[in-house]
Structure 1
Amino acid sequence: MNRKFSCMALLWSVTQWEIYDAYTEELERQKREKEAKEKKKGGRDETAKRRGNDELGMTSSSMGPEDYRPVARAAKIIERMINQNTYDGMGQDFKYYEDPVDDSCKLIGTLMPMWKFAYDGAKKMTVTTIANNERYPDLFAVGYGSFSFEKPAKFGLVCFHMLKNPSFPEYVFRLGSGIMSLDIHPELCHFVAVGLYDGSVAVLDVRRPASEQPVFQSAVKDKHMDPVWQVRWQKEDSEERLNFFSVSSDGHVACWTIIRMQLERQEIVTVRLLNKPQPTPKKGAEVEVFNDLARATCFDFSPVVDNIYLVGTEEGIVRKCSKTYSTTFLHSFQAHSNAI
């Protein structure tokens, strides 16, 4: 009797209405899940499509510089490949060209123009300086400015050209004054010292985007009063700090050291005009009279002794100087009658 009652109760709890409701509810749940999956999949496809368009540079005005770097790198590689195919003949001549004329006149040789490096942004500007890269022989830097002191350049450009792609510079930096001198660090070749027309100096870092300002720049109170005609990197000091020298036509030779993420200036020597020797009334000895600042134009360091360097001036005199002495010269050479 109990078994019959239990079976009847079980059959009563699973009527066709309950089965129908259960099936309907399950179908609705499956339908909702399917719609949710399709909606989510459609969103991913749209995001992927938009991302692909962004990488191709087709849409999205909110892209950052990081989004363009992979595409820019790929475009640069393709551009180099195309240029190497275009200038293949020049490249072969650059590596393997032999002129039979050189055998007959070794002291004279011949010249053959090969590449022409240009930049549209530097039109009507003068190439004022060129610096080679010691680590990468096919990469060099070109400074653009003006030698016309009546109409100086409104801005300066530093372009890094490469033999692999002569059609367009690898990097371009724009500064607020004309470029007068450049020097690439022999070991840390991404650092470039720059001397400007307004008397200031700066340090560029080619690892950073070209739109950024120099990583280091001299303060207004420390800069030279005349154009900086030459800059030259030196060995690190005793505290392993980067430093370079600059010479200007204001008569000063300065050392710039990177300290606490800024350029600190140290006066090395002041070059003054050297008048004609005048005899003293007693002994008739020749004396040197310094009465004004000389216009220094260039300098170079000794390859043997690090402390010794030479300074050339507009009066045609070469001064032998030492880093140890900041007030006197070791020797003066009457080298030329015109500016050096």
Structure 2
Amino acid sequence: MRKTIADLTRGVYDHDAHANLADRGFRRYHPFSFDFDSTPLSLAEAEEHWDEPVKQNHRENRAQAIKRLEQQYGSAQIDSVIKNVTELGPKSMSLLAYHNQFHEQARRSFVAGLYYPALVAACALGERILNHLVLDLRDSFKSSEHYRKVYRKDSFDNWTFAVAVLTDWKVLVDGVGAEFLRLGELRNRSIHFDPDTYHSLREDALAALQRLNAIIAKQFGYFGLQPWFIDHTPGAQFVKRAYEAVPFVRAYVIPRSGFIGPLYGMDLSQGGWHHLDYADYGDGDLSDEEFATRYRERDPEKVVSRAMIEKAQLGAKPEGGV
């Protein structure tokens, strides 16, 4: 019997059953669960060389952004709030995971002028991310020489050791290990007593948050040239077939993805965005490059939509099936 997405209880999200799909050669994992904040970009002043309609639109967006900040932080220190948000910069797009909520809390502390809580929170979250990576992934590396040193431990506070382990396991994206170590230096200086902290509190808090943001953007991001994503798929990211079994991807990316073909669509309904797709793409096996080409060159008329599905449910099944 031919097994398709339509036979699965959770369809494109029934991850444990996807290996047996008849058309899996046409499908790739598409993550669509993310967190970001671009407010700082809205606060910049309009550039003189912009056309007047563009300037006006930007001024209106800036005024709305400032109004939201006043509602959230109050108007008494709004100039300081704007300065902090602007210097902090955008919160990079990231997969939804355990770090998002704490990252937001640390950023809000900085914006509100609570620099020491922001500094401590950023350092603590960096250590939490390191711990999660080691503890969540260690059972995938039982043959590693490091496994006997980590399999019984519940936490790790030696950042150099944790980074070395994750580097040897090839978990960390290029540059992330160095960012962790730089954040670790700030953590050691800030958490352990150092009177100089009083004189560089805001500077250290900003540096810690920016390093933390860089770690999250590179390791958990979407558009940072992560090695597990297929190249040349503008506007979307798809997991390379060879990376589907990689421990980090299997633990963090795939559970937040839909298993879709190149003609998939997206539908915004109660609870957020959801994937829409054909039930069966037929026999065959696309390479990653072929998948990217089909995605880029797909016919908009054949992209699955809610209207197409409703039409199929009324008995007028569209070409290809839904």
Give the alignment's TM-score, normalised by structure 1: 0.22
Q: Where is the strand percentage greater, Structure 1 or Structure 2?
A: 1
- Structure ID, larger Rg: 1
TM-score w.r.t. length of structure 2: 0.23
Higher relative contact order (CA 8 A, sep 6+): 2
- Greater fraction helix: 2
